[in-house]
A and B are shown apart, each in its own frame.
Chain A
Amino acid sequence: MTDVSAPSPSGRSAYRINLVGLVGLMVVLFWGVVAALAPHLIPHSVGEIVDTDYFGPMSRELWFGSDYLGRDMFSRIMVGARYTVGISVVALTLAGFTGIVLGMIAAVSGGWLDMILSRLLDALNSIPSKLFGLVVVAAVGSSIPVLIVTLSVIYTPGAYRFARALAVNVNTMDFMVVARIRGESIFYLIGAEILPNILGPVLADLGLRFVFIVLLLSGLSFLGLGVQPPYADWGALVRENIGGVPYGAPAVIFPSLAIASLTISVNLLIDNLPSKIRDRGAEA
């Protein structure tokens, strides 16, 4: 994406990852672990009021201060990671799976199926994502399954387009012709011949899509239309504590920082992925 990450000249192996990418990876892994283990790590229960004051400052007892009701921000952010990371990962998996499978099928079969799928998904893609989210939430109300489905529908066209573009290139290869002559089924073609050849770049692209999903989810929650109380993801945490802005309360700063740290590190990680993974198939 950018040229900040020129491949390191001393790189012995194409699989070497540079320092910036490594830092990104560490932060992403960190949030993954936090999301998985949050209930065992938090010092206070999320609903428990531990501070007599609201919007309390950072202290030794409450690392990230307290929120608008005097609850422990540190614990709430740790648990919020579950919702932000969890919902995004599930939505991404759904979007990625449908998008990539449809993209490969479209590329392999071509013809009218390809045309209809592409037109349809392009039209879907031309609805601004936040607007789509708003309309769906208005129609069916907001719940976690609705959010997951909405987010995955919104980001399917992008994954489709990317996978299809790569698969079309692979489709012209000789080994595809051979496989076709052998009479292989379409599922064998996409699973065994196409997928291994586009996997690297497709995964990198999914990483970027993960960032968009996290941003959209946080945006919706921030508007009060995403994750609903008593649960709170990071976007909802910012919304709850927006009243603390005039006091510069840590309760509103830290959830924002959490989102930023996750999205920026994913971006850094993807940008600095070993070129062997990122470009595989793209140059074929």
Chain B
Amino acid sequence: MSRLLIAVVTLVIVSFAVFFATALLPGDTATILLGQSATPEAVAGLRNAMHLNDPAYVRFLRWIAGLMQGDFGTSYANNRPVASLIGGRFINTMKLAGLTAAVSVPFALSLGITAAIWRGTPYDRIVTVATIGIISVPEFMIATSAVLLFAVYLRWLPALSFTSEIRSFHDALRAYAMPVVTLTFVVSAQMIRMSRAAVVETLNTPYLEMALLKGASRPRLVLRHALPNALGPIANAVALSLSYLLGGVIIVETIFNYPGIAKLMVDAVSTRDLPLIQTCAMIFCLGYLLLTTMADIVAILSNPRL
């Protein structure tokens, strides 16, 4: 329970930070909106209409109250409500994230667990070195390498384009393949490392030595004795690694021109569309906090001693 409380407190601090970071914007929002040639009266009128003359904390409270009621404000750039801009794109991003999770979790866990079982073998070393390699290169490099490999040299997939008309399953597969593959790499590397570490730690416990001494076979050792005890740490690892999706998704949506909220946010940053940025940032922070809190809760539930 206290963990949930901490998450809520953190969310409040984060929203505070997001609001005031964007409120730091040099220049006056009303002036920016109306352009250089606006009369002072028009600027003053708009300032009043937008409540810009209120003190910052009133605007902050009003903004939070709006968020709670699903009113995200109006985009500066094209005067449409932020909610309508985000709606469809949010679903797109969730689709991408969901697909990646569906692919990467089984993939990473099987690699991580098998690497732990055969630890010290060449197989384990290859997996370990590969994951370090992937963790230490930027996401966009993985994306460009995937494009170079699959689109340029092998010519299996279209490069750098997200087709809006998806007519068949085949089209969908082609369109999603590259972003999902890239994200899977980014997320899996972390997950493999963490799940491997979790299983290795259990394998080092005295009761596993006992099981080994009484003559249990290797698969039985891992599946019956080690895995049940490593489940908590593994679930924790999965939730934590999925929070790396956020960083990855920002790059991947940009590079593949994928119509999701991360792309929307990057575009909003270049046009300085504050309400849009604030809302996107809050959505991302919320998702991130949800995942990390979930990871903590799973870890606590699986270990009564915590």
Contact = CB atoms under 8 A, between A and B. Distances in A.
Contacts, number: 143
Interface residues of B, number: 56
Interface string A239-266: 0001001111000110010011001101
Contacts of B147: 245
Chain A contact surface mostly: helix
Interface string A146-161: 0000000000000000
Contacts of A126: 10, 14, 285, 288-289, 292
A138 B268 contact: yes
Contacts of B247: 128-130, 219
Given A4-B128, A130-B246, A225-B266, A140 B25 contact: yes
A24 B292 CA distance: 33
A128 B153 contact: no
Nearest to B139: A219
A134 B281 contact: yes
B133 A134 contact: no
A124 B247 CA distance: 16
B24 A256 contact: no
Interface stretch (B51-59, B87-95, B168-176, B270-278): B270-278
B5 to A, nearest CB: 12
A190 interface: no
A223 B251 contact: yes
A137 B250 CA distance: 15
Given A123-B10, A245-B152, A138 B285 contact: no
Contacts of B160: 242, 245-246
Contact of B129 (A4, A122, A218): A4
Given A4-B128, A4-B129, A259-B137, A219 B251 contact: yes
Given A139-B24, A246-B152, A128 B254 contact: no
Nearest to A2: B128
A136 interface: yes
Contact of A225 (B18, B24, B269, B284): B269
A211 interface: yes
Nearest to B274: A138
Contacts of A141: 26
A267 B243 contact: no
Contact of B136 (A128, A134, A139, A263): A263
Contact of B144 (A129, A134, A138, A242): A242
B3 interface: no
B177 interface: no
A248 B150 CA distance: 12
Contact of A246 (B120, B145, B159, B281): B159
Contact of A219 (B18, B24, B140, B281): B140
A130 B285 contact: no
Contacts of A46: none
B136 A211 contact: yes
Contacts of B22: 135, 138-139
Nearest to B129: A4
A107 interface: no
A140 B159 contact: no
A11 B251 CA distance: 44
**For A3, A4, A123, A128, which residue has the most chain B Cβ atoms within 10 angstroms?**
A128
A253 B153 CA distance: 14
A215 interface: yes
A127 interface: yes
Nearest to B18: A135
Nearest to A255: B141
Contacts of B24: 139-140
A248 B159 CA distance: 11
Given A123-B13, A127-B14, A267 B132 contact: yes
A235 interface: yes
A20 to B, nearest CB: 10
B138 A218 contact: yes
20 contacts: A2-B128, A3-B120, A4-B128, A126-B14, A127-B14, A128-B284, A134-B269, A135-B22, A138-B274, A211-B136, A215-B137, A245-B148, A246-B159, A248-B148, A253-B148, A256-B140, A256-B141, A260-B141, A263-B137, A266-B136
Interface of B: 9-10, 13-14, 17-18, 21-26, 119-120, 125, 128-129, 132-133, 135-141, 144-145, 147-148, 151-153, 159-160, 243, 246-247, 250-251, 254-255, 265-266, 268-270, 272, 274, 277, 281, 284-285, 288-289, 292
The 8 A-B pairs at the shortest CB distance, nearest first, are namely A263-B136, A138-B269, A123-B13, A256-B141, A260-B137, A130-B247, A222-B140, A139-B21
Given A128-B284, A138-B277, A140-B24, 5 more contacts: A131-B250, A135-B22, A215-B138, A219-B250, A223-B251
